[in-house]
Chains A and B, each alone.
Chain A
């Protein structure tokens, strides 16, 4: 997709410090300047947007509120506060955690997500670098296959993928990392390729002349330059893998290993009627770690998403 070049002077350009300061100042102003004169409306918009944000957060608050209610009351009056006899404290949490083995599911999710992301970053950055530097038919075909695989819906391969991974005994948290590497490679390789192209070849040549072998060049020169891309890839892939339901539910041996989405779905499927109390409690536990994580790293996450989208 087209990369948009904003102005003749770009962020990365080397400028004398005084000019740089001017450019920075201008950039800071420009983002907001053209409507700054309309400030009388801005208060009104703040109020409107505040209301919208509250509406945005309400669903999550509702779930938290309901997780403290007795289960019989949840579907009948979900909007009432848990007061009086409705309030059950942490009972729902205890029963939910016991029913689906939440902590082992959490651990599995964590192992799979962290493991897959690390493996994807390592392998795909290497692959992306290799593809851009080695120009053969093989690398070209591989690159276009990666782009192609980003569009193909998962349903196309789900059945055969499940069978293939069964045949290779990949139905455990360690095996599924390989599957994720394979299926997540498309996006990652694509992004690393896009960025690796912009690294000047001279830097690597200089490293080679200084006596680096290709492996050293990769780890000590290329890898640090690719770091920003690596962060966005990591964020995009982690968001996908942590929340993915279908792939692990087909590939993993579900009697032994569950991830959080599978565990929550199991709460519904495993019992005739849904235990709304336990369900609400587990939803809260599923959301909470993400929100906390988000609160600490939101800047990276948002920047990563933007970078990923612009390059994609």
Chain B
């Protein structure tokens, strides 16, 4: 099975080696010396890592909420049979096809252009970098989530909505008590995708601010990358960070799946 061999090279071997190396001090794979848990304790003494951790968490929360809110709102509008629905759908989805690096530079140009009116730049403070990334991610991902929500909303049986209306439900009640519970599977998928995407975000971060000013706008993924390739002798710590990072992403993904799954209704 060629897939299995490639999967070994591409995932299993690096993964296993990665866990092993997180307990070692090394500069190349061949001179690894086991050092126990030292990398893990070092990691938590690194203030930049702690900062990146909180920065990423905050970023993930804000972007998940905004992307899903706007994505759902636009999806609701586009299922109402408004003229030009197909065109809107096409336009909103378009940014998804543009790569992270390219997106980062596009928005760097625009946001710097706007901030220049106030004699500021994007890298002046981590706050600008933060909101810049939020805007960028919204621009990129609303379309994707919108597509998934549209599919979900169109799957709601119209009889249900009619029945609710006959029973005297207002528009808001229909939305809250009929449509939302029925599209819960889509919500599960979309929160899962946005959550893992925001945690793993790298390209956009690198291109937009590259962590400036002085690594304050660094997300976890970029922090780990810089630990590996920016500082000699810290490869072990970087690998340990990566292990912790994976655990965090895995744990959050599972918790989120369980939580939203529970809200799904069976028909």
Residues of A participating in the B interface, judged by any CB pair closer than 8 Å: 1-7, 29-36, 38, 42-43, 45-46, 49-50, 52-53, 56-57, 59-60, 62-63, 66, 74-79, 123-124, 126-127, 130, 142, 145-146, 149, 151-161, 163-165, 168, 170, 178-186, 189, 239, 242-246, 260-261, 264-265, 268, 276, 279-280, 283, 286-287, 290-291, 293-294, 298, 301-302, 305-306, 309-310, 312
Contacts and interface: CB of A to CB of B under 8 A. Distances in A.
Contacts of B215: none
A163 B243 contact: no
Contacts of A1: 185, 188-189, 257, 261
B23 to A, nearest CB: 13
Task: Tell me whether chain A's interface is mostly helix, strand or loop, or mixed.
Answer: helix
Given A32-B79, A152-B246, A179 B109 contact: no
Contacts of A291: 94, 97
B176 to A, nearest CB: 15
Given A46-B83, A156-B245, A182-B6, A30 B109 contact: no
A152 B203 contact: no
A185 B98 contact: no
Contacts, number: 292
A160 B21 contact: yes
Band of interface residues on B:
35 or more
A74 B98 CA distance: 21
A235 to B, nearest CB: 10
Contacts of B29: 160, 163
B109 A280 contact: yes
A159 B29 CA distance: 9
A185 B189 CA distance: 20
A276 B14 CA distance: 38
Contacts of B81: 31-33, 35-36, 42
Nearest to B81: A32
A56 B93 CA distance: 10
Closest 3 CB pairs of A and B: A182-B10, A243-B99, A32-B81
Given A31-B154, A153-B200, A153-B249, A78 B109 contact: yes
B221 A155 contact: yes
Contact of A245 (B2, B99, B144): B99
